[in-house]
Amino acid sequence: MDRTEKQVIDELFDKLGVAEQQSGARDREAESLIQQHLVRQPAAPYYMAQAIVFQEEALRQAQQRIQQLESELAQRPAGGGFLAGLFGGGDTHAGRPSPRPSSRFNDYQGRGGFLGGAMQTAMGIAGGMMLGSFLHSMITGGNEAVAAEAAPADMPPAEEPPADAGFDSGWDGGFDDGGGFDF
């Protein structure tokens, strides 16, 4: 562990100390469950610290990027419309990529230690959460299930419009444009 890694860990625990002082009573049932997990996985605080540090850094970089994009947007000339770039107007910086925000992790990628493993840990956690969400969506039907739950129980189901409610040109040449219009 080098001085930067020590500083990152110390800053994390300083923030946790402030949060502990400012928060109310802890949920005893949740705390008990966490303790049970820690008994089974005693190294969990190490990996949790890595994930928190990495997520904080990712958030910091995202905030820097948002500020940079807002600044670029504020410097753009007004007007021109959405097709202005095609006809010589608009942003002259369109083809150039913007520089990426700096990161404390740049020097640690590809090597061991606390910060070197932080990205791998965070990506493993995030990947697991995304996979879990994906599988949940597949099993429960995704948006259809959410929409069904969102409808109040006391409302009658929406009535289907009559089959002839769409535009009818009077000619049925067997062509279906997929948009509900008969041509």
Q: pLDDT of 6-58, one tens digit each?
A: 999 999 999 999 999 999 999 999 999 999 999 999 999 999 999 999 888 88
Query: 4-13, 57-66, 169-178 — which is least confidently predicted?
Result: 169-178
Q: Is residue 44 part of a domain?
A: yes
Q: What is the value of pTM for the model shown?
A: 0.51
Phi and psi at 122, nearest 5°, equal -65, -40
Closest CA to 76 of 87, 59, 91: 91
More confident residue, 92 or 70: 70
**Residue at 138 is within a domain:** yes
> How many degrees, rounded to 5, is the angle at CA 24 between CA 23 and CA 28?
115
- What ranges make up the beta strands (E) of the chain? none
CA 126 to chain centre: 10
Instruction: Determine, yes or no, domain membership for 112.
Output: yes
Helix axes 44-75, 28-40, angle to 10 degrees: 110
19 compared with 76, residue with greater pLDDT:
19
Is residue 18 situated within a structural domain? no
| Enclosing domain of residue 106 | 29-75+99-150
Determine contact, residues 109/116, Cβ cutoff 8 Å.
yes
Rounded Cα–Cα distance for residues 183 and 151 (Å): 35
Residues 104-153 pLDDT 10s: 666 666 667 777 777 677 667 666 666 666 656 666 665 544 455 555 55
In a domain, 80, yes or no: no
**What is the pLDDT, as a whole number, of residue 142?**
58
pLDDT band at 102 (very low <50, low <70, confident <90, very high): low
What confidence tier does 181 reach under pLDDT thresholds 50, 70, 90?
A: very low
Sign of the torsion formed by the C-alpha atoms of 75, 80, 81 and 83: negative
User: What pLDDT sits at residue 145?
Assistant: 46
Residues 6+ apart with CB under 8 A from 80: 89, 90
Q: Is residue 158 part of a domain?
A: no
For range 69-87, the mean pLDDT: 75
* Dist. CA 73–CA 68, nearest whole Å: 9
Q: What's the rounded mean pLDDT across residues 56-65?
A: 90
**Longest Cα–Cα distance in the chain:** 80
Q: What Rg value do the Cα atoms of the chain yield, rounded?
A: 27
More confident residue, 77 or 181: 77
Tell me what pLDDT residue 90 has.
Answer: 53
- Beta-bridge mates of residue 168: 182
When divided into structural domains, the chain yields a total of 1
Within a domain: residue 162? no
